[in-house]
Structure 1
Amino acid sequence: MAINLQKGQRISLEKSNGTKLQNICVGINWGAIEKKGLFGMSKTKEAVDLDGSCALFSEQKQLQEVVYFGNLRSQDGSIHHSGDDLTGDMNGNDGLDNEVITVDLSRLNPNVNYVAFVLNSFRGHDFGTIPFASIRIYEGTPSRVNEVFATYDIAGDTSFAGHTSMVMGVFYKKNGEWKFNAIGEPTRDRKLQETVDTVSRQYL
């Protein structure tokens, strides 16, 4: 497959050897905001709390469940959230994901037809003020990246400035086969529930 998708592109998740892809990860890496001190004093760091979440919908586009920092595991055990990172990298970019959501498509409840990933800035930090913040959606595990589908640089892309939430992408089932839609669009929402509602209205 070897694809790095741009916004709005869709792909099938069947691999070149004919096997179906099963294990998906969404990793988010970001840094704390560096504040310049008064009168040339030493700089301080302001913690940034970004929250990756996963919303599950039925074929009829009815919300089934949300996996987020307050619900780290889906009812069927197919989706796991690594836990809430409240600060971001305080000492520069360590290259590691601060939060990871893993999905085993083979274990998903058969009633689930859409798996949507969203990002919210919990304390309302503007994406444009964060020194670095990137997302990667890939096949593999939190410790092994096999193939990256999509990456978004939400700190460096000016289209995200002025926003505190976004829709990362949606996995959807069509004729029994899973496909992926790389959305990567900021929204005007402030809270997770609002962003989930936006997904159900606009992106399924």
Structure 2
Amino acid sequence: MAINLQKGQRISLEKSNGSKLQTVCVGINWGAIEKKGLFGFGTTKEAVDLDASCALYDDNKQLIDVVYFGHLQSKDGAVRHSGDDLTGDMAGDDGLDNEVITVDLSALSSSVGYVAFILNSFRGQDFGTIPFASIRIYEGTPTRVNEVFATYDIAHSKDFAGHVSMAMGVFYKKNGEWKFNAIGEPTRDRKLEESVKTMAQNYL
């Protein structure tokens, strides 16, 4: 399996030993915004609330379910969200994911044809102002990373400056097999509801 895909690349989910990847995670790690204090003295930290979400669509690109901070598990139980992080790393990068979405591809309802991942800045804080924000899509569990197959650094890419939402990537079923498309594109959306529609219109 390829490691560290460039955005726009597509891969099959067959591993080197011939087995199919079953459990995948999307982890987001980000930091609070550092601001200069009054008259330039000292610094203060501004909490950042990024939200990772997962939208499930059928083969006709019709929305089936959305897993996000207000709905932490899909109806079929195959997709689970670790919970809402409202601040980011306030004391510097601890190297741990602030939010993780876990997908058991083998447990998904048979009606699901697309599993799409979306990131939104809840308070409208521009991705370009966040000191560090990285995304990794990997095989494993929230506490164990087996193999990373897509990473994005959205804080240090000029493509994301001025944006508050992005399409991270999508798993899609082709000829009965799951494949992955590393999208990595900022969108013009302001809210999750808009991002879910944009994903269906532009990226599935």
Q: So what's the TM-score if we normalise by structure 2?
A: 0.99
The 1-side partners of 2:96 and 2:70 are apart by 22
The 2-side partners of 1:179 and 1:2 are apart by 12
Give the aligned residue type for 1:93: D
TM-superposed deviation, 1:2: 4.2
Give the aligned residue type for 1:168: M
Give the aligned residue type for 2:176: G
**Aligned pairs for 1:1-204 within 5 A:** 1-204=1-204
Partner of 1:179, secondary structure, is strand
Structure 1, unmatched stretches of 5+, are none
The 2-side partners of 1:132 and 1:203 are apart by 26
Partner of 2:87, secondary structure, is coil
Q: Give per-residue Cα distances to partners, 1:105-142, cap 9 Å, x unaligned.
A: 01000100000000000000000000000000000011
The 1-side partners of 2:151 and 2:61 are apart by 26
The 1-side partners of 2:199 and 2:40 are apart by 45
**Is contact 1:2–1:147 with CA below 8 Å preserved after alignment?**
no
Partner of 1:53, secondary structure, is strand
**Is contact 2:2–2:11 with CA below 8 Å preserved after alignment?**
no
Percentage of pairs with the same residue? 79
Give the aligned residue type for 1:202: N
Give the aligned residue type for 1:133: A
**Is contact 2:11–2:180 with CA below 8 Å preserved after alignment?**
yes
Q: So what's the TM-score if we normalise by structure 1?
A: 0.99
Partner of 1:64, secondary structure, is strand
TM-superposed deviation, 1:41: 2.8
**Is the deviation greater in 39-48 or in 75-84?**
39-48
TM-superposed deviation, 1:40: 3.6
The 2-side partners of 1:4 and 1:49 are apart by 26
Structure 2, unmatched stretches of 5+, are none
